[in-house]
A and B are shown apart, each in its own frame.
Chain A
């Protein structure tokens, strides 16, 4: 466990971190890196898997999260883990998702070096793409501009933007961004990777910076939860989901929804024409396709305990249903019920796979 400093060259923290990451590849600390890099059109920044240091043009501060980095890691390691060290740069919410996926045996963390980065928040892909080349979204967010109206709602009210459970942390909170970045190594592999960097003598300002960000987010979060608490009851809820076309994009974007064949994409609920017609006798009429609310509420039942509140579901919705307006409250309440926090501890088990004999007697029997 050691705290270090990465000195910023020419006031450019993006290229400074890029050089640091290049070093990891060149020194063979990692054989490959999964790291955010802007696409050539600069419309967004995707995670790229890169092994050639010359090709690396990482921008880990680009405020974009078009896809789940945790899902990308799952894709890479699910069949078989890596024999060679691979580094992966992630935001806090994606680290939480990675821990959850590891518990669910969808990520193999063998030889994976997790590099966490302080998250300043992300913009939707559309917002990001609308920025001009002169004032890039990265510059905009790094110079500390008021980003509240640009951020995705899940980022505006982020639960915790500080990464946890990683080998190396790259920090900006509480640091003078034009001069130095905070580097923390938590494991032996991490120590080895940062051994050449100078030590940080005083962590006081870093701790203060983190506290300040967390207080800001918590206040925004409390206001958000209060404002959205009116979305309740059958009328409001059906109205909320009225534009849902049952495309399941939210499920595909979700890092936690990992089932290869979702129940809702199977033939379980397919009926013959006669049965569909008979079914209309129940209510008189049905919206087609059927079961959009059933899908939403059941998906919630299946994944909410591991929900890391990354907001990718909302970003994926073609009809802009503000899913986080209800998912944040649902996640908070459900996780509190079981005293569970996704991503908190890799050793903790997901609540629905374990049980105690003596619990919840009020539900089973009064």
Chain B
């Protein structure tokens, strides 16, 4: 079997999780290089279309990283994103698609270690799940 290296797309909040990723880097904390980080201004700005697109293009996992509840730079974007992810997962569940590939996590700018641990866990889980079957579907 071909060696499987999971691809993870991360939508990281500019104020918290992206800075947390930065801290992980400057602190030289090791974590799997499987994540492709996309900086967004707020986790609340990540519409379902971007998550669906990543999944349908064949991403093996998607991480949405935001500020801890109560800490949102824009007051409540993360709370709203949480509801949106609840809905997204509910719909994926109804359609029989793999909702466990979507991760929502709160990681602050000071939590470099947590960022590294989260990515490690996501990659491990993605390895267990195996390649996203959408990667082979050209008729979507």
Contacts and interface: CB of A to CB of B under 8 A. Distances in A.
A363 B86 contact: yes
A234 B134 contact: yes
A232 B106 CA distance: 31
A334 B87 contact: yes
Label chain A's interface by main secondary structure.
helix
A337 B85 CA distance: 12
A95 B109 CA distance: 48
A87 B69 CA distance: 47
A234 B139 CA distance: 11
A274 interface: no
Contact of A301 (B78, B88, B134): B88
Interface stretch (B24-32, B34-42, B92-100): B92-100
Contacts of A330: 91, 94-95
Given A301-B48, A351-B83, A364-B69, 10 more contacts: A232-B94, A241-B140, A283-B136, A284-B138, A292-B140, A293-B56, A293-B140, A294-B56, A297-B52, A352-B83
30 contacts: A234-B133, A236-B96, A237-B96, A237-B97, A238-B139, A282-B135, A283-B137, A283-B138, A284-B138, A292-B140, A294-B53, A294-B56, A297-B95, A300-B91, A301-B91, A304-B91, A330-B94, A333-B91, A334-B91, A334-B94, A337-B90, A352-B84, A352-B87, A356-B79, A357-B79, A364-B85, A364-B106, A365-B104, A365-B105, A365-B106
Interface of B: 47-49, 52-53, 56-58, 69-70, 76, 78-80, 82-91, 93-97, 104-106, 133-140
Interface of A: 232-234, 236-238, 241-242, 263, 282-287, 291-294, 297-298, 300-302, 304-305, 326, 329-330, 333-334, 337-338, 351-353, 355-357, 359-360, 363-365
